[in-house]
Chains A and B, each alone.
Chain A
Amino acid sequence: MELSVHQFRSKAEQQLFDLFAQSAAALPGAANPFVSGLREQAIKTYGSLGLPHRRVEAWKYTDLRERIGDIGPLIGSGGARAGEAELEAAFGEGLAHLPAYRLVLVEGALRVELSDMSDLRAAGVEVGALAHMLEMPPAWLKETLGQVNPREDDAVLALNTALMTGGVALRLAEGVTLDKPIHIVHLDGTGAAASAFTRNVIVAETGASATVLESFGSLGLKGLLRNAVTEVKLGDKSAIQHVKLQREALETIHLNTWLANIATDARYNAFQLSVGAELARNQLYVGFDGEGSATDVSGATLARGKQHCDTTLIVEHRVPRCESRELYKLVLDDDARGIFQGKVIVLPDAQKTDGKQMAQALLLSETAEFDSKPELEIFADDVVCGHGATSGQIDEDLLFYLESRGLPEEQARALLIQAFVGEAFEVLDDETLRDAFAATAADWLGAPAE
């Protein structure tokens, strides 16, 4: 393959490129011209960008070139066990037993025998292993893959397109409403350092609605580089609640990108809770392409030790009368670092846009750091947009109130932290899910769950 690439500056940068060169012929869909075309275009993009570093504005606080060391091989099937016990250990009881259509990805590939494929099909959802579908993609996948709110400037996304090995593709047919969430479980494997590139595609046709939960957890692999992408295409009047729990092992580098395109009168609600990984970068790119739609992109980060968690989102209003809301809550202890970058773009046609953004951090130590960078780029004149950021410590008056009722200081603190984070969970309308997330937060705090 002839490629003009820039001079790679780090070993990892070169290794990622080599990983593609070595494995391209064996990647799923290698024989399919559409898929191999996508991959080649993507590796060219990566070649011209290299790994993002701090002089790239969007990566100002998260220098991947510096942070990523050696690149492990593509994760392969080692037959890691992923039964109920493993799920419980990885995600906690509440989430592991959440009533849902379960789709289980282990070692970068869908385990059909652990997944509720036929139940999901009976409910009106076309579902398949991405690796399988890439060999001969159906028309709907061809119209979607790599085309949902695409970004040319994102090397992490480009790497995923070049190297994606598995994941799931879902199509909710017109009017389908699911009675329980779809739960996409992402587990690593066991053994030595490896890299996992997974890709999910969700298409919600006119009037379809569902909750899709993606959970990320560990089976004990040491040194995972995770690059996971999900593309969500929302048709007219559709509604997707897209929820994530990231509870990866502490040695993991977690890179996650969600892309969403929203048609007319549709609703996309995203919520992410991050508690794991040594370094996490959550990217959300949401674009409005139809009027009268709305999105709520919210989340919470709980970090301690030397954890680094970066959430970067771009919401692009391209058409009139859409509404966007963002609320992020961060609890940072020890030397943890939390980053929130929220960009709202309102293009000239997007009159009557209503956009609000808020990021709030609770700092539990003197050395924790919160970096917030709201960016509003407004090119229309009849809009309502606002943003805010706060950072503070536990309110001593509230603490006194709780202690005066007999709560020991530690329990009172935990309750206040749970309360701070709990406000973010309120956007989840599924009560079981909200409880499971509250339990995860309580678990992180070492407090009894409600």
Chain B
Amino acid sequence: MLEIKNLHTNVDGREILKGLDLTLPTGEVHAIMGPNGSGKSTLAYVLAGNEDYEVTEGSIAWDGKDLTEMDPTERAVAGVFLAFQYPMEIPGVATMTFLRSAVNALRKARGEEELSTPDFLRLVKQKAKGLKIDIEMLRRPLNVGFSGGEKKRNEILQMTLLEPEICVLDETDSGLDIDALRIVADGVNALRTKKRSMLVITHYQRLLNYIVPDKVHVMADGRIARSGGPELALELEKSGYAEFGGKATAA
């Protein structure tokens, strides 16, 4: 279980999260919605351990462990995964090399044997197929020249390969057309298990038609303003974020 209590976070000296409380039971999928600027992406980065996001108060506990005491690498080893809204482009690093380095770094840190190149290739080919990723794409430099859809599918491929226990998806639907959205959502749904928890951050309800959450939280001004079942997302679709400080347009 992930328990966030009274979380305050500063970015460049400005407070973005202002006492956020959230409980994500193991095996559940929760959606975080909210207007732009409400702090959704900040929450994602704080969970992954980005040092630009300074926790000034509160706690993030996961199965009794204090995440705030861990650096990004340690969190990844412990099972935290963030699917980035804007995946980084790294010219000069072949995607395949990156994937293998990541998988083997985690295996090594968890005391497992590293995968040989042929074993790894077999694994990647199998997982890539499900996400309709061409193996040729993985020979290209990491995310360089990838379309929006390719980048997001690559994020989900990483999530699939690294087998995390807490998945944070930061606006994974942004920039996707309906076909790409379906592929990505199918990839995410395939990873839903009783042991894996997911936090799906999105501005729009659309994604939640495909990844149906157990619970929906609405963020406003750095806190959770309202929580409810999946029907809350539909309600927001109609009414928009106006009552939460957003523009009075339908989401």
Contact = CB atoms under 8 A, between A and B. Distances in A.
Interface of A: 396-398, 400-409, 411-412, 415-416, 418-423, 450
Contact of B92 (A403, A407, A422): A422
Contacts of B98: 402, 405, 415
Contacts of A411: 101, 105
A416 B90 contact: yes
Contact of A406 (B50, B52, B93, B105): B105
Contact of B73 (A406, A416, A420, A421): A406
Given A398-B88, A416-B90, A420-B92, A407 B105 contact: yes
Given A419-B93, A420-B92, A404 B48 contact: yes
Contacts of B105: 405-408, 411
A123 B84 CA distance: 55
B221 to A, nearest CB: 26
Contact of A408 (B48, B73, B92): B73
Given A400-B50, A450-B97, A405 B92 contact: no
A419 B102 contact: no
Interface bin, chain B: 20 to 34
Interface of A, secondary structure class, is helix
B76 A405 contact: yes
Nearest to A417: B92
A406 B109 contact: yes
A450 B94 CA distance: 11
A421 B75 CA distance: 29
Give the top 9 A-B pairs by smallest Cβ distance, nearest first. A419-B92, A406-B76, A422-B92, A403-B72, A405-B102, A406-B106, A401-B88, A419-B93, A423-B92
Given A402-B98, A405-B162, A416-B90, 19 more contacts: A396-B52, A398-B88, A398-B90, A401-B84, A401-B87, A403-B71, A403-B76, A404-B82, A405-B102, A406-B73, A408-B109, A411-B101, A411-B105, A415-B93, A415-B101, A419-B90, A419-B92, A421-B92, A422-B93
Interface in B34-55: 48-52
Nearest to A419: B92
B91 A407 contact: no
B158 interface: yes
Contacts of A422: 92-93
Given A405-B162, A450-B97, A400 B91 contact: no
